[in-house]
Structure 1
């Protein structure tokens, strides 16, 4: 899943980007409010981690602007402002969740996963497709109750297909979700990952829609 991180503290921002990256997220990190607004217009994200105390434009003002213009992307506020009144204001202005610094990276990841699941109408913590089960938090996949070993990018691609069951995703959409803008992407990277998933889960698991893209296929 692709995350937009808007955080001006270099130590915190670097830690979140690196930590979430190891957990399978693709993270674009922006350090001021105006650039954050531009970034959300330039790419499709699954969620935003938004600091409130930002240069150029305050995080609360950014959130207020997004919601007033109908932007419904899930927003997790991450800030040092721990007063109850400020937390309440953030939620009233349209934040979906709130964490105060200091925080545990595992909790940031868990809250992001929950926000993304809810956005896709998934209430259960695990995703299922026939005999296949994906646990995003534990980063495990089982098929007929047997553990399937997937590489991080394969697991991220599988989660993307399972969250978008019934939809056809283009290669450009898949690349946009799997890679942040500072990562190099080979021309056939998506096809290689899909090939590996088919070998591990069955050739019919991901169906090619010729001239369009790919979609979740037959139940394994």
Structure 2
């Protein structure tokens, strides 16, 4: 059974128990009443996660399978999904995700042996993962980053120049022009935008977009299609660093 490190408060300082030892750490990040869905089949882990997140200021829904998670998503809107990568019925959840209007970010709980493995395809929202055994500070920090949307605002939108991605509706636009993107194109653009001015390798992008690296010219074709939609009007925002990968941003002196 994978256990979480326990934590308790003492005078405003989080005293975190780490496998029998006590160490002091800064007060952990807190939520503001956002709704989170915890989809974990192990009852003990589900209780630990839900209790920890509720104490941190979040409101929690619980699901024990992919099918149950789909039902919970149909009942109400959640701002973040915390999902065990080995959740029974994950296929049902993966099939339902692209059909939902709201695409909340996903925090996956995985074993260390799966760290370099592919991520399940759960729609176009932002994805991150933490390895088990889970650590309180790391889980809360990742939750806070995902809820902030990287460099975006609390409205779920990411911005760069006149380019806007709205994770609430899973839509993108440049200026007044709406971009008709496929799920893979949206994920690619979101990853580039969330790492603006940073060169991302084909392998890193492939793992984010498809869950694994695809050889041949699959990446080149995807980037080419996205460029035709995003950079139809100058200045260009998507660039190639030959031999290294791709990056998004304005070139100095242009625009």
| TM bracket, shorter-chain basis | 0.5 to 0.7
C-alpha displacement of 1:144 = 1.5
What is residue 150 of structure 2 aligned with on the other side?
120
Are the counterparts in 2 of residues 5 and 48 from structure 1 also a CA contact under 8 Å? no
Q: 1:8 to 1:137 in 2, by over 3 A?
A: same
Q: 1:141-152, aligned counterparts within 5 Å?
A: 141-152=172-183
Which protein, 1 or 2, shows the higher relative CO under an 8 Å CA cutoff with sep ≥ 6? 1
What is residue 219 of structure 2 aligned with on the other side?
190
* TM-score when normalising by structure 1: 0.57
Q: Deviation string for 1:172-205 (max 9, x for gaps)? A: 1011111135xx8352111111111111121722
- Give, in whole Å, the separation in 1 of the partners of 2:231 and 2:95: 32
- Give, in whole Å, the separation in 2 of the partners of 1:43 and 1:193: 22
Rg (Cα) greater in structure: 2
What is residue 20 of structure 1 aligned with on the other side?
97
* TM-score when normalising by structure 2: 0.50
Structure 2 residue corresponding to 1:208, chosen from 240, 243, 255: 240
The answer for unaligned runs of 5 or more in structure 1 is 50-61, 76-93, 98-113
- Give, in whole Å, the separation in 2 of the partners of 1:207 and 1:133: 18
Check if 1:6 corresponds to 2:85: yes
Are the counterparts in 1 of residues 152 and 159 from structure 2 also a CA contact under 8 Å? no
SS state at 2:134 partner = helix
Q: More strand by proportion, 1 or 2? A: 2
Q: More helix by proportion, 1 or 2? A: 1
Q: 1:142 to 1:7 in 2, by over 3 A?
A: same
Count of residues in Structure 1 that have an aligned counterpart in Structure 2: 157
